Structure 1
Amino acid sequence: MNIAATPLTASREDHPGLDTQRWLARFSAEFSVKQRGTRLGKTEHFGPLRVQRPFFPEGPECLHFYLLHPPGGLVGGDQLSIDLVLRDGAHVLMTTPSAGKIYNNISGIPQGQHVSLTIDDGTILEYLPQENIVFDGADGQLITTIDISGDGLFLGWEITCLGRFESEQFFERGQLMQSLMLRRDGRPLFSDRLQFSASSPLQESRVGFNNYHVFGTFLINRNVMSDTNELGEKIIAWQEGINSRYQQLTVAVTQKPDAFIARILGNKAEQVRNCFEHLWQQLRTDVVGREACAPRIWRT
């Protein structure tokens, strides 16, 4: 079912300071395996969220899925809700064609994105969006919840930019609330929550961002560093390679029970994303059972 895009106008009585329209957008989709492989099933949407037609560069078993937000960013009061459900052995690689943007907020109403990912037993989701840029003056919320059942597999990342470092437009006003939760059968495997004000000393603190402006987290709900020596060696080689090649990046890896975490601090989103892409390419054959096949939209 598709519902035509319609801007939902915020009430001036409810928010007297609001002098413009705001977008409330939602997209939900279900994926399952049919006779011809993984297929996009029931979808619902309203507001400016769209999906390009599915792509199958690896054959019918793995569906590549591009989620589009044509306005390109969120102003005060805008809220995006994304709900993806994988069933019946589906394998989906999801990405976005461009960075998400959370703009300067003049409305006094927070803007945000809420992502809910449901991964049933025997399904695989590779969640590889491009970065979110939090502009100076934003009041942003970025919430991602991943719920896995049984032997479902999640492999993915999130990258966040505080301001635009290369343009010398720093995040000096505003705030960000960011939450990343990974659960299996209702039991938390990883939970990360950031409540951050631009004026916080966390930006400069060595136990915080240490004057870096881009941070990223890469997650796999597997014990990959102890499964085989080869996998662990690949991860260590990846980390050492970054440390020797990019002096301006800080990298850390952690293996928790049932969750592998890699984190990067840097100042250039492209560098952080390229490092995560390289890690994904290194691990995909062993973890997913397929050689890396990068979405073609990354190179356009």
Structure 2
Amino acid sequence: MSGLELTPRGALDTDSGWKAELGIDFSLSHGRTILSRRHTGPLTLQRPFYPEGDAVCHVYALHPPGGVVGGDRLRFDVRARTDAHGLVTTPAAGKFYRSAGPLAVQEQRLRVDAGGTLDWLPLETIVYPGADARLDTRVDLAGDACFFGWEVVCLGLPASGAPFDSGRFIQSFEVHRDGGPVLLERARYQGGSALLTEQWGLDGFTVFGTLIGTVDGRDLAERIRGRADELAATERFSLTQMDGLTVCRVMGDNAFRVRDLLAAAWGTMRMERLGRAACPPRVWNT
């Protein structure tokens, strides 16, 4: 199966709405991970933080409008170069609002060079009833590149009495290593469909998340599962290992609890692969 090609930059200007792009390039200079950036439209970064010392650079990606509406096109282009280690998160949940017709698109191209490390850990994405949205993520790894990344999605606003009973959300997540596909996933969630309620689908859960890490091993899997058993209440947790990847999935009804389960798995994976404890960004506590 061929890999998904993200929309070229020039094709982002076809519909009305915000057109924005954020490029982040992590590199190592004199023992310190530094970054260069570029942005167009309403996407930018806060200043970098170094809570783990000079080796790891933490940044918060900002989208000042606060949400994505029909016709908006957002693109993230992130690269971690050899020996650099970058962590990218967001200070607030992403939101796809109800659409009056046009499709809203967010594209994420993540590249990690051999010897580089990237933690891609945005907060959850909330898909409002009536949204028409697409979230595309492609990860390109070279050689022994190290990657940990997740996506957490909330369908509808059930706490406000607004289930995802209309609209459409399309999601793809791909991992490629040295130009070849390792993991290709695509899903389409139609508001009010049986996929949201049946046991073969989401079984009524409204929040789901996936964490992917470039590390595997039976002992690792047992440790992650044991920790998930300690933390999970009504959430469902699963783990799969394939081609040097560990893939963790959680379904639940609370974004914070789903994220906590994935964060625990991330910490175990990170220690296994890097010998470095997880350092959750402070913004997650606000």
Residue 37 of structure 1 corresponds to: 32
Q: Tell me, yes or no, if the aligned pair for 1:134 and 1:161 is still in contact at 8 Å.
A: yes
Match of residue 260, structure 2, among 264, 268, 274? 274
- 1:269 and 1:199 map into 2 onto residues whose CA distance is 20
**CA deviation string 1:138-183 (max 9, x = no partner):** 0000000000000001112100010112222111111011000011
Contact 2:215 2:269 in 1 (8 A): no
Q: Pick from 213, 218, 223: which aligns with 1:234?
A: 223
SS in 2 for 1:55: coil
**Paired residue total:** 275
Q: Is the Cα contact below 8 Å between 2:126 and 2:155 reproduced in 1?
A: yes
Pair 1:259 & 2:245 matched:
yes
The 1:90–1:104 alpha-carbon spacing in structure 2 relative to 1, beyond 3 Å, is same
Q: CA deviation at 1:93?
A: 1.1
The residue matched to 1:238 in structure 2 has which SS?
A: helix
Alpha-carbon contact 1:242-1:251 (below 8 Å) kept: no
Rounded Cα–Cα distance in structure 1 between residues aligned with 2:95 and 2:200:
27
Q: Does 1:292 align with 2:273?
A: no
| Contact kept? 2:209, 2:258, Cα under 8 Å | yes
Structure 1 match to 2:71: 77
Encode CA deviations 1:197-226: one digit per residue, 9 max, x unaligned: 113211111111111111100101222x33
* TM-aligned CA deviation for residue 299 of structure 1: 1.4
Superposed, which structure 2 residues align to 1:168-247 within 5 Å?
A: 168-223=161-216, 225-226=217-218, 229=219, 231-243=220-232, 246=233
Amino acid in structure 2 at the alignment position of 1:168: G
Q: Deviations over 1:32-84 (max 9, x none)?
A: 1001411002x221110010111111111100111011111011101100000
Question: What is the rounded CA distance, in whole Å, between the counterparts of 2:86 and 2:45 in structure 1?
Answer: 13
Q: Does 1:24 align with 2:19?
A: yes
Q: Work out the CA distance in 2 between the residues paired with 1:58 and 1:239.
A: 25
The whole-number CA distance in structure 2 between the counterparts of 1:36 and 1:281 is 23
Deviations 1:221-241 (A, max 9, x none): 222x33xx3x23311212322
In 2, Cα distance between equivalents of 1:136 and 1:92 = 34
Q: Deviation of residue 276 (structure 1)?
A: 1.1
Structure 1, 76-85 or 195-204: larger mean CA deviation: 195-204
Instruction: From 143, 151, 155, give the equivalent of 1:158.
Output: 151
Q: What CA distance in whole angstroms lies between the structure 2 residues aligned with 1:232 and 1:215?
A: 20
**Identity within the alignment, %:** 38
SS in 1 for 2:155: strand
| Deviations, residues 245-265 of structure 1 (Å, cap 9, x unaligned) | x1x211111111211111011
Q: Look up the match of 1:94.
A: 88
CA–CA distance in 2 between the matches of 1:222 and 1:189?
13
Cα pair 2:189 2:196 within 8 Å, conserved = no
User: In terms of Rg, which structure is larger?
Assistant: 1
Aligned to 2:156, the other structure's residue is in SS state strand
252-261 or 135-144: bigger deviation: 252-261
1:204 is matched by which residue type in structure 2? Answer: T
What letter corresponds to residue 277 of structure 2 in structure 1?
E
In the alignment, what sits opposite 1:142? Answer: 135
CA contact (8 A) 2:228 2:261 kept: no
Q: Secondary structure at the match of 1:170?
A: coil
- State the match for 2:8 in structure 1: none
Q: Within 1, Cα distance between the matches of 2:83 and 2:251?
A: 35
- Structure 1 unmatched ranges of 5 or more: 1-9, 16-20
- The one-letter amino acid of 1:67's match is A
TM-score under structure 1 length normalisation = 0.88
* 8 Å CA contact 1:105, 1:139 repeated in 2: yes
Which amino acid in 2 is paired with 1:241?
E
Do the aligned partners of residues 287 and 165 (structure 1) sit closer, same or farther apart at CA in structure 2, a change above 3 Å counting? farther
Q: Structure 2: which amino acid aligns with 1:35?
A: H
Aligned residue in 2 for 1:129 = 122
Q: Distance in 1 between matches of 2:52 and 2:214?
A: 23
